[in-house]
Amino acid sequence: MSDARELLRRIVVAGSGEVGAICAIALKRALPSCDVTVLELPVHLNAFADRANTALPFTNKLHDRLGISEEKIVRHAGGSHRLVTRYFGWSGRDSYGVASYGAEVDPTLKTRFAQDWGGGSRSAGADIPAVSIAEALADAGRFAIPPDDRDTPLSQLDYALRWNGPSYRQLLVGHARKLGVGHLQDSILAIEPDTLGGIAALKVEGHGRLEADLFVDCSGPDALLLSSLPDYAIEDWSDVLPVRRIIEAAPGQPMLVLEDRVTLLPEGWLFEIAGRDGLRTMIGTGAGKSREQAINALGAPPAIEHDLAPSRCRKPWLGNVIAIGDASARLEPLGSLSLDLAHRQISLLLEMLPGRSIEPLERAEYNRRAILMADGAKDVLAMHYAAPRAHDVFKSKIPLSVERTIDQFTRKGRLPFQEEFPLLTEEVMILLVALGFTAGTPPQHRNTDARELEARGAKAAAKARAAVEFAPPYTQWMEHALGRTA
């Protein structure tokens, strides 16, 4: 029988944004006896994961796993909920599509028939009833968190959270401190390499040498720790992700709705994220558009401007250094994938957490899966730029993997399997239809009787109506949630 591995004694997390804070919480909960220290560094302007004010449904599961209360996010961090994202103008100037989360739509309704029943791309003025429970609730402005102790018409519903970024980060920092996570606020003076391709210690101003068994780089796009290692390299994504400039307006009026919106304009995409702390609006443009064109399309004075160089680390784990979030992949905010990727990487790290002696095989397996995660997020973004009208606006290269996905979807109504992909198969199908792609008919459904399809569509519509009747108005639910004792 082999001896048990010696546990990690000290972990240093470099980065004080949302990613570093939740990563420290995860590591301290996994290893209560380990000294987990956060080295607080300035948050990079282009660190979209660290500055995120929304994510995807996976984050809700990570919050539950780490004991981070959704009620506290709602009460103390401006939390609200998103059920759908509405896409305008992606397949034509007047087109409109809706993307939702989860797997609650009948598979047969993802064929061409689905476009007659809602949940896909259609004319913006078309009066088509929603089949998706999420879309029906968003249309009606009704929602409540599904109870976990009984089945209800909302039980199969999945949703994403939004929040106020600084308040959410402060909530995480407070949670980390209660767990015993340490914090240092001084600058890195030097990085001392070890003999195994990693880091022996950081020389920190006012603290001398800071040694650790494991260093987690959450420092943002510059990857301050990982980039200091000799084997560090990046893979450029600029040929398939064409956005080079993102300009944000100052937050507008508070907006308590269950949807966000992405509109394709001749200048680029316009992303509107609702929130209790104000509507956030940003525009993403390609290299061929000027700053003046972008600001005119934004329709408001610029508050924050970002230059973007999309890429990922070729190996996010080198030696005893692991890059998480913006330090591992530089993604734009479209699709809310940046923080989702970071949270999936943290979950993977918990699954493959090493001992003091790191095995090359576990490092290689982590890198394999983390790269698949990052490439999957890149492909979801690239699907947007492959959309009929978006391809004309941005003129970017379509990755072979995305071409294959679109081909299978449009010809056969199915998708190739992709390991560690950020979206469920059903979510990818719904997104593709929302972007303007027409689903082919799967072989098993080619002979389905039209009356059977109509009956299934009617059943789905009935489920949507039941959900709307069950859920209270969202404003009423929010007032009740905020009135509870914290």
Under 8 Å between Cβ of 249 and 300:
yes
pLDDT at 296: 96
For the beta sheet containing 188-193, the strands, ordered from the edge strand earlier in sequence to the opposite edge, are 188-193, 199-204, 208-211
- Residue 223 region by backbone torsions, left for phi larger than 0, else alpha for psi between -120 and 50, else beta: left
Q: Which tokens hold the place of 193?
A: 């390499």
For the beta sheet containing 10-14, the strands, ordered from the edge strand earlier in sequence to the opposite edge, are 182-184, 35-39, 10-14, 214-217, 321-323, 317-318
Under 8 Å between Cβ of 14 and 225:
yes
pLDDT at 122: 55
Which residues, 6 or more positions from 157, have their beta carbon under 8 angstroms from its beta carbon? Answer: 83, 102, 104, 133, 134, 137, 146, 467
Instruction: Give how many domains the chain has, as a whole number.
Output: 1
Q: For the segment 410-441, what is each residue's pLDDT rounded down to a tens digit?
A: 999 999 999 999 999 999 999 999 999 999 88
Q: Is residue 302 part of a domain?
A: no
Q: Is residue 261 part of a domain?
A: no
Q: Which tokens hold the place of 199?
A: 């880091």
Q: Is residue 217 part of a domain?
A: yes
- Pairing mode, strands 199-204 and 188-193: antiparallel
User: At which residue do the structure tokens 């767990």 appear?
Assistant: 179
User: At which residue do the structure tokens 């401190």 appear?
Assistant: 177
Q: Is residue 171 part of a domain?
A: yes
Nearest CA-CA partner of 348 in 380, 326, 316, 318: 316
CATH number of the domain at 190, please: 3.50.50.60
| Phi and psi torsions of 195, nearest 5° | -95, 5
| Phi and psi torsions of 81, nearest 5° | -125, 145
Side chain identity at 68, as an amino acid letter?
I
Distance CA 145, CA 19 (A): 25
Helix (H, G, I), strand (E, B) or coil at 14: strand
Q: Is residue 159 part of a domain?
A: no
Low-confidence ranges of the chain (pLDDT < 50): 107, 111-120, 125-126, 485-486
Print the domain residue range for 314: 1-53+164-237+310-358
| Chain centre distance of CA 331 | 10
Q: Is residue 219 part of a domain?
A: yes
Query: For 61-66, which contacts have Cβ atoms below 8 Å and span 24 or more sequence positions?
Result: 62/22, 62/26, 62/343, 62/346, 62/347, 63/161, 65/347, 66/22, 66/25, 66/26, 66/29
Q: Is residue 399 part of a domain?
A: no
Q: For the segment 167-214, what is each residue's pLDDT rounded down to a tens digit?
A: 999 999 999 999 999 999 989 999 999 999 999 999 999 889 999 999
Q: Is residue 333 part of a domain?
A: yes
pLDDT at 459: 84
pLDDT at 247: 98
Distance CA 201, CA 101 (A): 43
- Residue 257 region by backbone torsions, left for phi larger than 0, else alpha for psi between -120 and 50, else beta: beta
